[in-house]
Structure 1
Amino acid sequence: MDAKTAAKDIKQGKVSPLYLLYGSEKFRMNEFTAMLEEHLIAKEDRDFAVIPFDLSETPVQAVIEEAETVPFMVERKLLLVRDAALFTAGKEKVKLEHNVEMLSEYMQHPAEFSVIVFMVNGDKLDERKKIVKSIKTAGTVLAFNPLGAEELLRWVEKGFRERGCSIAPGTAEALIASSGTGLQGLSAEMDKLCLFAGTGGRVDAAAVESLVHRGTEQNIFTLVEDIANLRLDKALNTLYELLKQREEPIKIASLITRQFRIILQVKDLSALSYSQGQIASQLGLHPYAVKLAGEQAHKFGSQRLRQILSILADLDYQMKTGAVDKVLGLELFMLRLGA
């Protein structure tokens, strides 16, 4: 089951007694728990009925004891259990005696008046563990992995609609290009843009350009995009903006190298018929970053990309040994590429 289906079931009153949430998208995980809390517990009862735990500080048997205790003044309790490392392969930072057998026994006969949500700080579960197999049988296990490229665009478009403002074509892409793929940051920027536009207002790429701060990595991506499209004036303006922000030239060169290396890797893997998701997993990148790198890869041949990486390696050596002025070296590199 995926999170969307689980949310639909909850809204229809089909609630599991146990949930296990894991994955790298903590923002979506928190959104899910907030939705669960909203549908299960009345606002005025949350001080009594929503009980947080942290398994790095509290043994799991304390969670079970609370789950089995009849609620006071409310019909149902929601137990939010963070740092549930006992479901992963990694070792716990703090040594606590967790009675996993007690948890397994509880899973066989969970209390009707309690819902337990375990939140794992990790991308994977340890499928070899008996406790993981048990909760898959007794409860609902949900993965919160990065959204695919198209899913991310739809998520942004939906976010604007939910905030009561419309967007011009290309606005979602412009926002991701400026803010990055982090959902927390994108959510905050959408709040700001819709506040600027007003209820029923319209947000366009120009508003994104003027209101959204572009991070260093986003600036580097734009710089490489401008180089690929022979927009050297824009590329140099981005470089000077980064220098104005006191970014170290060697760091800028390193980030440019990283972007060109990603482009080459995406190009090579695409030639081997890898899917966008497979490439993202292989390189440890967000699927949207793979999509954009794939678009840039069409503008370069593989041999040309290897030549550029060789030039950047020489530039790095010259900058670090003082053989060339750092800023001048970056300028000459970009002019050479444009030529």
Structure 2
Amino acid sequence: MDLKTASKDIQNNKPAAIYVCYGAEKYRIKEFIDFATQQLIEPEHRDFALAHYDLSETALETVVEEAEEIPFMVPRKLIIIKDSSVLTAGKDNSKLEHRVESLLRYMEEPAEYSILLFWVNGEKLDERKKIVKAIKNHACVLPFQPMGAEELISWLIRHAKKQECDCSTAAAEALVQSAGTGLGILSAEMDKLCLHAGRGGTITIDSVHQLVARSTEQNVFMLVEQIAAVRLEQALTIFYDLLKQREEPIKIAALIARQFRIMLQVKELSGQNYSQQQIASQLGLHPYAIKIAGEQARKFDNQKLRSIVAHLARLDYQMKTGAIDKVLGLEMFLLRLGA
């Protein structure tokens, strides 16, 4: 079952007996848990109908006993369980012994008045475990992996609409370029932009640039973007701004080198017919970062990218050994590249 179907079933008051949420996008897992809580449990029932457990502190069989116990003064219970080791390959430092057979028995005949929702702290479930194989047969298993580039932009536009604000695709992309791809940060920045625009207002690229501060990594990303577009003056302006913020030139050079390495890897993997999602998985990066790196890489051929990466490696050595002034070395690199 996918997230859309699971959400629709919850809205129609037809929840599954057990949900298992896992993946890299913890913000979206929290969103789903909040949504399930609002839809399934009346506000006046939440004192008695909601239970929270952490399997690093509580044995699994205690959770099962809670699920089997008839609810007090409420029609049903929602039991939210955090897990870092029972369903994953993670190390259990709590030294608790979990009797997984109690959950295996429960899954055969779950209580109709209880809903178990596992929040797994891990990007994958451990497929080797018997309990995981059983859960895949009896529970609603929902992966929360990073959204694709278009999906991320659509998510931001929807987030603005919830607050009765309009946000164009270009403004949403500008926000990602300024704030990165972390959903928690993006959500907070979008809330700020909506507050500034006011109900019924429009979020513009200008308002994003005025109100959203870029991190060093995002500034370097924008610097490389200006280089790729052969806008040397803007690239140097960003570089000098970074120096004014007391950023270490060696760190700036390392971040520039990282972005060019990503561009080279994306270009080579794209040439082998890898999809954007596959490249993101191979490199351990967000699909949106892969999309932008791919667009930047089109401005260079493979040989040029290899030459730039090699040049940056030599520059790094020269800067660290004092063979060249750090700021001058980076300026010369940018001027040559711009030329």
User: TM-score w.r.t. structure 2 length?
Assistant: 0.98
The equivalent residue for 1:243 is 243
After TM superposition, give the deviation of residue 89 of structure 1 in Å. 2.0
Q: Secondary structure at the match of 1:87?
A: coil
Give CA-to-partner distance per residue, 1:11-70, whole Å, 9 cap, x none: 011101101110000010000010100011111221221111000111111101111111
The equivalent residue for 1:116 is 116
Q: Secondary structure at the match of 1:141?
A: strand
Could you tell me whether the CA contact under 8 Å between 1:84 and 1:118 is conserved in 2? no
After TM superposition, give the deviation of residue 84 of structure 1 in Å. 4.3
After TM superposition, give the deviation of residue 169 of structure 1 in Å. 4.7
The equivalent residue for 2:201 is 201
Distance 1:168 1:75 in 2: 44
Distance 2:168 2:267 in 1: 31
Structure 1 stretches of 4+ with a deviation exceeding 4 A read: none
The equivalent residue for 1:278 is 278
After TM superposition, give the deviation of residue 271 of structure 1 in Å. 0.5
Give CA-to-partner distance per residue, 1:148-181, whole Å, 9 cap, x none: 1111111111111111011245111111111111
Give CA-to-partner distance per residue, 1:239-290, whole Å, 9 cap, x none: 1111222211111100000000000000000001111011001111100100
Could you tell me whether the CA contact under 8 Å between 2:87 and 2:120 is conserved in 1? yes
The equivalent residue for 1:85 is 85
Q: What code does the residue aligned with 1:166 have?
A: D
Structure 1: gaps spanning 5 or more residues = none
Q: Cα RMSD between the aligned structures? A: 1.0
Distance 1:77 1:167 in 2: 38
Q: What code does the residue aligned with 1:204 have?
A: T
Could you tell me whether the CA contact under 8 Å between 2:84 and 2:122 is conserved in 1? no
Q: What code does the residue aligned with 1:285 have?
A: L
Could you tell me whether the CA contact under 8 Å between 1:180 and 1:218 is conserved in 2? yes
Structure 2: gaps spanning 5 or more residues = none
Are residue 63 (structure 1) and residue 67 (structure 2) matched?
Answer: no
The equivalent residue for 1:132 is 132
The equivalent residue for 1:35 is 35
The equivalent residue for 2:53 is 53
Q: What code does the residue aligned with 1:35 have?
A: F
After TM superposition, give the deviation of residue 138 of structure 1 in Å. 1.7
The equivalent residue for 1:262 is 262
Q: Secondary structure at the match of 2:53?
A: strand
The equivalent residue for 2:73 is 73
Distance 2:254 2:128 in 1: 40
After TM superposition, give the deviation of residue 136 of structure 1 in Å. 1.7
Identity score, percent: 60
Could you tell me whether the CA contact under 8 Å between 2:61 and 2:102 is conserved in 1? yes
Q: 1:176 to 1:139 in 2, by over 3 A?
A: same
The equivalent residue for 1:152 is 152
Q: What code does the residue aligned with 1:301 have?
A: D
The equivalent residue for 2:103 is 103
The equivalent residue for 1:185 is 185
